[in-house]
Structure 1
Amino acid sequence: MRHANQGEAPQLDGRHLKVGIVQARFNADITGKLAENCLAELAALGVHDEHIRHVTVPGALEVPVALQAMAESDEFDALIALGCIIRGETYHFELVANESGAGVTRVALDSTLPVANAILTVENEAQAWARVEEKGRDAARVAVEMANLLDDLT
């Protein structure tokens, strides 16, 4: 029995893929840079501009509902969630981090559509800036790799 992707390099050819991106506008400087890095990596992986739909929502809690609408459209091979939640002095951080993360995961499981979660959950702005480049690029790679893997598995 052949095991899908076992011992093989990740399939990162995005030329045939359609990708949806939902970006939270809260902490816009950071999420904008996440998006910039994500889009640059998608281009490097061969995803065509006309095959990318990039929308914005107010904050991380709104990301899952937009992802769900995209998933239900059957127009996308993979989705990407972009956001930034910075810890404050109240429980709100935990609520937003936990619920947005659970919502993103639920969309992926309910739709069997890969969703790369690049919603940063950090203690402070410096931590966010330290992660913004790699997480943006990583989200693109995860989306492309998982879309290709699921295509192989089905």
Structure 2
Amino acid sequence: MQNAEQGQATDLDGRGLRIAIVRARFNDSITAALADACRAELARLEVDAADVREVTVPGALEVPVALAALAASGGYDALVALGCIIRGETYHFELVANESGAGVTRVALDHRLPIANAILTVENEAQAWARAEDKGRDAARVAVEMANLLEDLS
């Protein structure tokens, strides 16, 4: 597949890839929609359902811990982080958004494993719903593309 903006080929062939999804249960209906869209897109990209594992954690701050355990297992070509952080009236939003994002990045770099970060950080629930399906699909495409790219680079 060609990336029209960059003129670069992208490999979205998911056959043979093993992918794990870590989904935060906080804002459960939104994160479930993210996961549904992600799994559907992985299937469309021909990732076998038997090669997709989904685990849930309480919230976005716990996502990096589960990602690290999955990465350390060596059993996956890519990981997906799903969550939803909605701004409230306190500083807690910034803390959770910043620390979960930094944790996801750290796991990816420490383990040299692609992680598609689809932890939504939004102002309100309407923004979350408006993004859930697209971001779930995007996460699947990023995971597959980056797994294939890292395989090519190694």
Residue 125 of structure 1: aligned partner: 125
SS at match of 1:120: strand
Pairwise CA distance, 1:16 = 1.0
User: Amino acid of the residue matched to residue 141 of structure 1?
Assistant: R
User: What does residue range 34-53 of structure 1 map to in structure 2 within 5 Å?
Assistant: 34-53=34-53
TM-score normalized by the length of structure 1 = 0.95
User: Amino acid of the residue matched to residue 136 of structure 1?
Assistant: G
Query: Structure 1: 5+ residue runs without aligned partners?
Result: 1-5
The total of aligned residue pairs comes to 149
Hey, what's the Cα distance between the residues in 1 that align with 2:135 and 2:10? 17
SS at match of 1:149: helix
State percent identity of aligned pairs.
75
User: Amino acid of the residue matched to residue 142 of structure 1?
Assistant: V
Deviations, residues 62-117 of structure 1 (Å, cap 9, x unaligned): 00000000000000000000000000000000000000000000000000000000
Query: Structure 2: 5+ residue runs without aligned partners?
Result: 1-5
Pairwise CA distance, 1:9 = 2.2
Hey, what's the Cα distance between the residues in 1 that align with 2:57 and 2:77? 21
Residue 116 of structure 2: aligned partner: 116
Deviations, residues 24-45 of structure 1 (Å, cap 9, x unaligned): 0000000000000000000000
Deviations, residues 105-154 of structure 1 (Å, cap 9, x unaligned): 00000000000000000000000001001000000000000000000000
CA-atom RMSD in angstroms: 0.8
Hey, what's the Cα distance between the residues in 1 that align with 2:19 and 2:7? 26
Q: Which runs of 4+ in 1 moved over 4 A?
A: none
Hey, what's the Cα distance between the residues in 1 that align with 2:134 and 2:61? 23
Hey, what's the Cα distance between the residues in 1 that align with 2:94 and 2:33? 23
TM-score normalized by the length of structure 2 = 0.95
Residue 3 of structure 2: aligned partner: none
Hey, what's the Cα distance between the residues in 1 that align with 2:9 and 2:44? 17
Pairwise CA distance, 1:8 = 3.2
